[in-house]
Structure formats: C-alpha cells, structure tokens
C-alpha cells in the first residue's frame, strides 16, 4: 500500500462542486463503496482558505487518479506520494 496525500485547491467558483464531491466521497467511504484498493484514511477542510486535504492508502496511484476522473474533479490538486516523515513525536 502507498500513502498518498491529495491537496484540493478549488477556486471560489468551484467551491460548491468541491463540497458536493466531498459529501459523495464521504458517503462512499461510510458505505464501503470506494473502488477496490482505495482506502480513505482522513479528510480535512479549511473553510477560511478553501483547501481540502485527503489522506489515502492505495494499491496503485493510477486507481486513485481514475477515481478522481470519475468524480469529475476539475479543480487544482496536488498529489504527495509516500512523503518522507521528518518528525514524529517520540522519535527523538
């Protein structure tokens, strides 16, 4: 499994569509209807800055990108794949 973070940066014009997509995604996760090989670990949203952050565990990054296409994600996103952990409390 690969750890992936997706930063969502919807413009003001696409903010409502972003929120609808998040609700759909949450329902899919709750109902265990996410595509096989995709596990949503955490989802955050910063209202003030209109930024979303999803933490995923995926078998293949391409499956996640395909799911994004199916959900019609058409706002800016940044994908961080297997980030290097620089600090964790208790490591030092």
Tens of pLDDT, residue by residue over 37-88, are 999 999 999 999 999 999 999 999 999 999 999 999 999 999 999 998 888 8
Q: Give domain status of residue 57, yes or no.
A: yes
pTM score, whole prediction = 0.89
The answer to the question of residue 89 being in a domain is no
pLDDT at position 63 is 95
87 found inside a domain:
no
pLDDT of 92 strictly over 80:
no
Q: Which domain holds residue 27?
A: 2-81
79: Cβ contacts below 8 Å, ≥ 6 apart: 4, 5, 6, 7, 61
Say how far apart CA 63 and CA 58 lie, in whole Å: 8
The CATH number covering residue 61 comes to 3.30.70.100
- Tell me what the mean pLDDT of segment 14-43 comes to: 95
The answer to whether residue 33 sits within a structural domain is yes
| C-alpha–C-alpha distance, residues 84 and 88, integer Å | 11
Starting at the edge strand found earlier in the chain, the sheet holding 38-46 runs: 38-46, 51-58, 2-9, 76-81
- The answer to the question of residue 88 being in a domain is no
User: Residue 89: what pLDDT?
Assistant: 86
Q: How far apart are CA 45 and CA 39, in angstroms?
A: 18
- CA–CA dist 28, 88 (Å, integer): 31
Domain count, the chain: 1
> Hey, what are 36's tokens?
């096989």
Looking at residue 91, its pLDDT comes to: 66
């Amino acid at each position: 499994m690969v750890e992936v973070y997706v930063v969502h940066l919807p413009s003001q014009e696409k903010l409502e569509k972003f929120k609808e997509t998040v609700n759909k995604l949450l329902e899919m996760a709750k109902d265990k209807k996410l595509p096989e090989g995709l596990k949503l670990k955490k989802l955050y949203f910063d209202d003030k800055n209109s930024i979303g952050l999803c933490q995923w565990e995926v078998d293949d990054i391409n499956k996640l990108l395909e799911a994004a296409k199916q959900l019609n994600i058409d706002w800016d996103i940044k994908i961080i794949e297997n980030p290097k952990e620089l600090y964790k409390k208790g490591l030092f």
